[in-house]
Structure 1
Amino acid sequence: MILTQRNYRAAIVGTGAIAHAHAQAVLGSGRAEVVAVADVDAGRVSAFAEKYGVPSAHASLDDLLRKEEVDLVHLCTPPKLHTPLAVACLEAGVTALVEKPPTLSLAEFDTLIEAERRSTAHVATVLQHRFGAGALRLRRLQEAGELGRPLLATCDTQWFRDEEYYAVPWRGTWESEGGGPTMGHGIHQFDLLFSVLGPWSEVTAVAARQARPVDTEDVSMALVTFESGAVASIVNSVVSPRQTSKLRFDYERATVELEHLYGYTDDDWTVTPAPGQEAVAELWARGHGTASSGHSGWLAAVLDALDRGEAPPVTTEDARRTMEFIAALFASAFTGERVRAGQITADSPFAARMDGTGAPWEKVRNP
Structure 2
Amino acid sequence: MRTSQRPDGEPAPPVRAAIVGTGNIARLHIEALHSMPDQVEIVAAADADEDTLTSFGNRYGLDARYGDVEELLRGASPDLVHICTPPGMHRPQVLACLDTGATALVEKPPALSLAEVEEMAAAEGERGPWVATVFQHRFGSAAQRARALIESGELGRPLVAVCHTTWFREQSYFDVPWRGRWETEGGGPTMGHGIHQMDLLTALLGDWVEVSASAHQQARSVATEDVSLARVVFANGAVASVVNSLVSPREESYIRIDLERATIELTHLYGYGDDDWRVTPAPGFEERVTAAWKAGEAGVNSGHAAQLGHVVAAVRAGTAPPVTSAESLRTMRLVAGIYASAFQRRPITPTDLGPGSPFHGRMNGDGPRW
Q: TM-score when scaled to structure 1? A: 0.95
- SS of equivalent to 2:230: strand
Matched, 1:211 2:202: no
Q: Which amino acid aligns with 1:314?
A: V
Q: Which of 309, 330, 347 is equivalent to 1:300?
A: 309
**Structural RMSD (CA):** 1.4
Mapped partners of 1:139, 1:6: distance in 2: 33
- In structure 2, the partner of 1:21 is 28
Greater shift, 166-175 or 47-56, is seen at 47-56
Give yes or no for contact 1:29–1:296 (8 Å, CA) kept in 2: no
- SS of equivalent to 1:175: helix
Question: Aligned-pair distance for 1:303?
Answer: 1.9
Matched, 1:45 2:33: no
Question: Aligned-pair distance for 1:318?
Answer: 0.3
Greater shift, 337-346 or 211-220, is seen at 337-346
1:221–1:5 distance in 2 versus 1, CA, 3 Å: farther
- In structure 1, the partner of 2:267 is 259
Matched, 1:358 2:367: yes
Question: Aligned-pair distance for 1:331?
Answer: 0.6
- In structure 1, the partner of 2:257 is 249
Question: Aligned-pair distance for 1:328?
Answer: 1.0
Give yes or no for contact 1:153–1:247 (8 Å, CA) kept in 2: yes
Give yes or no for contact 1:78–1:177 (8 Å, CA) kept in 2: yes
Q: Which of 235, 238, 241 is equivalent to 2:246?
A: 238
Deviations 1:174-232 (A, max 9, x none): 00000000010000001000001000001000001111110000000110111111111
- In structure 1, the partner of 2:285 is 277
Give yes or no for contact 1:91–1:119 (8 Å, CA) kept in 2: no
Mapped partners of 2:306, 2:12: distance in 1: 16
The equivalences for 1:95-106 within 5 A come to 95-106=103-114
Q: Which amino acid aligns with 2:194?
A: G
Mapped partners of 1:6, 1:240: distance in 2: 47
Question: Aligned-pair distance for 1:276?
Answer: 1.0
Greater shift, 161-170 or 107-116, is seen at 107-116
Mapped partners of 2:353, 2:152: distance in 1: 33
1:233–1:27 distance in 2 versus 1, CA, 3 Å: same
Question: Aligned-pair distance for 1:288?
Answer: 6.4
Deviations 1:85-109 (A, max 9, x none): 0000000100000000001011111
- SS of equivalent to 2:96: helix
Q: Which amino acid aligns with 1:355?
A: N
Q: Which amino acid aligns with 2:159?
A: L
Deviations 1:221-270 (A, max 9, x none): 11011111111111000000000000001011100000000000001000
The equivalences for 1:88-237 within 5 A come to 88-117=96-125, 120-237=128-245
Identity %: 53
Q: Which of 320, 324, 343 is equivalent to 1:334?
A: 343
Question: Aligned-pair distance for 1:33?
Answer: 2.4
Give yes or no for contact 1:90–1:119 (8 Å, CA) kept in 2: no
1:20–1:350 distance in 2 versus 1, CA, 3 Å: same
Q: Which amino acid aligns with 1:159?
A: W
Query: Structure 1 unaligned runs (5+)?
Result: 362-367
- SS of equivalent to 2:183: coil
- SS of equivalent to 2:313: helix
Deviations 1:279-300 (A, max 9, x none): 2122212356443200001001
Mapped partners of 2:195, 2:295: distance in 1: 29
Q: Which has the higher contact order (CA 8 A, sep 6+)?
A: 2
Q: TM-score when scaled to structure 2? A: 0.94
Mapped partners of 2:184, 2:127: distance in 1: 27
Q: Which amino acid aligns with 1:226?
A: F
Greater shift, 286-295 or 241-250, is seen at 286-295
- SS of equivalent to 1:233: strand
- SS of equivalent to 2:271: coil
Matched, 1:313 2:322: yes
1:148–1:119 distance in 2 versus 1, CA, 3 Å: closer
- In structure 1, the partner of 2:358 is 349
